[in-house]
Structure 1
Amino acid sequence: MLLTAALILLSPAHAQARGEVIELRLERTPAGVVLNAAWQMELPPLVESALYQGIAMHFVAEAQVVRPRWYWSDKTVAQAVRHLRLSYQPLTRRWRLTQSAAEREDAGRVGLSLGQNFDELGDALASLQRIAGWKIAEPSAVEDDVTYSVHFQFRLDTSQMPRPLQFGAVGRSGGNMSVSKRMSWTAPEIQP
C-alpha cells in the first residue's frame, strides 16, 4: 500500500500536474508586440518552507517569437526575459515581489525594477502568476500577416537557490517547477 502511494507521488504525470498556463495573448501595437499571460501553479513544499524561513526564491519568465522557415532553420525574431524575486520578511511578516529585466542588480545591466509588498502569501502568488503588458518585441521585428511560433515559459531559477537547497531539489519532483506554452500567432497590421 505504501509502495503504491510512493510510486504514484513520484510518477512523471504527477510531477507535471503542478501547473499550467491558462492564458496567453499577444497584441501588436505601435510600440511593439505585447504579451499578456496568466498561469496557475503550486509551490512545492520545499520552496514554501524555504520562503517562510526568509530565503528568497527567484523565478524567470521567458518569451520567444520564432518565424518558421521551410527552406532553412527557424529564425528567432525576438526574445525577452523577466526576472522575479519572491521573499518573506519574518520580522514584518510581509511578502515582497520584485520584477526586473536584469538577473541581479550587479549584473552590469541597468534596468527598471518594480517591487510590491503583500500581507498574505496568496496575494503575492496571485501577482507572481500573471504578466500584463510585457513588451517582448520591437515593432519592426514582426511582419504583417506572417504566422509566428511563440513560446512562453515560467520557471523557478534553481541556480539562484542556496547550495543546500539546490542539492535537495535535484531528483525531487517537488523541487522543480515550470510551466510553458507554445502557440501560433499571426501578426495583424498596425492600425494608425
Structure 2
Amino acid sequence: MSSTRDTILSTAAELFAARGFDAITMRDIAGACQIKAPSLYNHFADKKTLYQETLSFVFEEHGTSLMGCLKDEKPAEEKLGNFIRLICHRLNEQPMFRQLFMRELIEQDEDRYRFLVNVVMAETCHALHDIFLAINPACDPHFLTTSLIGLVIFHFQINPMRPYLPGGSTETQSEAYLATNILKLISQALEQPRE
C-alpha cells in the first residue's frame, strides 16, 4: 500500500513533468493529492525540497535496475549494451521520467542542474564513465556520457515527429531499433582515439 508521502511524490512528479517547476504551486500539488496545503508542509518544508525529493523518487525507481546493468560481472561492452537497451525501454515505457529530464534542460536552473547531476544521476554517470574507459582507455568518457544522454533523450522526444521525416517508418520508432542504433553510434565513437 502506498504511503501518503509516495502519493505526494508521484502526483508531484506528474505535475512537474507536465507543467514545470515554476508553474506549479504547493497548493496545486495539495489539491491534486486531495489534501490541504498545510498537510503537504508536514511532509516537505518547501517546494524546492519537494521537487528535489520528487526527482530522487522518480530516478531512484529506475536507478536500481540501471545500476544493476552497469555493475554486473559481464564484459564492459555487454554492460553498456544492456544499459542502453534498458534505458531505452524505460524512456519508452515511462514518458514522465523523460519529461522531467527535458523540463530541467528547458528551464536551465543551475542549482537544479547541480542537484540532478551531483545527487540524482551521480552514481550512474560515474559508472558509465568507468565503463567507457574500460572499453577504450583513450576515449573521452565525459563526451560519451553526455552524448549517450543526449541520444536517448532526444530520440524518444522526437519519436512522434519521426514518421513525417524522410525515411520514417514504424520500425524506426521502435524501442529496439533506437537502442540498437544508439549502441552502434556510441560503439563507433568508442573506437576513436581522444582528440
After TM superposition, the score normalised by the length of structure 1 is 0.29
Higher relative contact order (CA 8 A, sep 6+): 1
- Which is richer in helix? 2
After TM superposition, the score normalised by the length of structure 2 is 0.29
